[in-house]
Amino acid sequence: MTGGRPLGLVLLEMTLLVLLGPLVTGTIQKLKARLQCRQGAGVLQPYRDLAKLLRKSTVQADTASGFFRSIPVLVLAATIAAGALVPVVRAGPPAFPLGDALMLLGLLALARFLAAVGALDAGGAFGGMGASREMTVAPLVEPVLMMVVFSTAAAAGTTELGTLAAHRGTSWILAWRAADLLGFAAMLVLLPAETGRIPVDNPDTHLELTMLHEGMLLEHSGPGLGCMVLASHTRQIVTLGFVAALFFPVGLADGASAIGLLLGAGAFAAKVLALATYLGLVESSYGKLRFFRLPQYLAIGFVCALAALALRIL
């Protein structure tokens, strides 16, 4: 591996993630609509929603403090910063100190925390409910994600995602060891939780008590809500890119050649599309779990991740 990813490339990848985030959501929604025998909105609908939200004016609760207004921007910033850590088109470490997979998870956790604080600050009952539930699920998901990271990092000797991807190399399916299989299984279990989808959360509604993430958005409006929605789109694609970098970094370019980078971008699109299809299928074929059943569901991921670690270390 010669050199690293220059700053320009990292910024480009980050921008790409933010721009493509809504498209992934649109694709999943279209897929779900087709599976329900509906025509469904076009895949570009999330962009239209965002544009509409950004044009509207803001209404704010009387009880909210000044901090509430800055919450959407902070959440979006933390999520986008996490996006900078995902290698999209090219493997290898960044050319400058940036952060590793744990940093990524930390930034996503920070975004989650800020969203919960905002929901509590507004003083609405639903916001508090959503925040409480989100904060109940988060500690069940994040440590397990870290364990999955550790189980792959133990082989590569680093937690930097670009280096991890480079270490796994392009012959990924042959290089998959038993621990990777279990780690990937844990990841598939946790993916709906981390992206806020059925069976953990329901992204389509904020009117029932099934809500986690949507409940926290209720008090936001106008451009603020637009930022929050964009942040959740970005969070989703960042998580998918994170899984892709951890488990199948195939097609990532080694050098800086234009063809390699294009190939890497194409491979990334294919991988994200595959994972998005998985999410859409799961969401269409399962029901939302009762909230108190969630720990049991997430425990599948925990045990798998632990067994992966055991396989790797012992």
Partner 1 sequence: MSAAETVHTIIDDLGALLLFTMILIVIASQISRAIYAVAAQSLFIAIAGGVLAMFTGNVDLWVIAGVTLAVKAIMLPWVLHWVVRRMNVRREVEPVIPDAATIVLAVAVVVMSFDLSTSLGTVRQAITGNALPVGIALTVLGVLVMATRKTALTQMVGLFASENGIFFTAMAVTQGMPLIIEIGVSLDVILAALVMTILVLRVRSTVDADIADLDRLRG
State in angstroms the smallest separation of the CB of 314 from partner 1.
4
State in angstroms the smallest separation of the CB of 267 from partner 1.
23
Closer of 88 and 147 to partner 1 (Cβ): 147
CA distance readout (Å), 10 to 80, 95, 151, 228: 12, 9, 26, 23
Closer of 15 and 296 to partner 1 (Cβ): 296
List residues near partner 1 by CB under 8 A.
174, 176-179, 181-182, 185, 293, 295-296, 299-300, 302-304, 306-308, 310-311, 314
Q: How far apart are CA 300 and CA 306, in angstroms?
A: 10
In the block, residue with structure tokens 């904020």: 206
State in angstroms the smallest separation of the CB of 185 from partner 1.
5
Closer of 65 and 296 to partner 1 (Cβ): 296
State both tokens at 90.
């090219």
Closer of 61 and 281 to partner 1 (Cβ): 281
Closer of 149 and 230 to partner 1 (Cβ): 149
In the block, residue with structure tokens 């189980």: 151
**Cα 83–85–88 angle (5° rounding)?**
75
CA 50 to chain centre: 19
State in angstroms the smallest separation of the CB of 91 from partner 1.
23
Q: How far apart are CA 269 and CA 223, in angstroms?
A: 28
State in angstroms the smallest separation of the CB of 178 from partner 1.
4
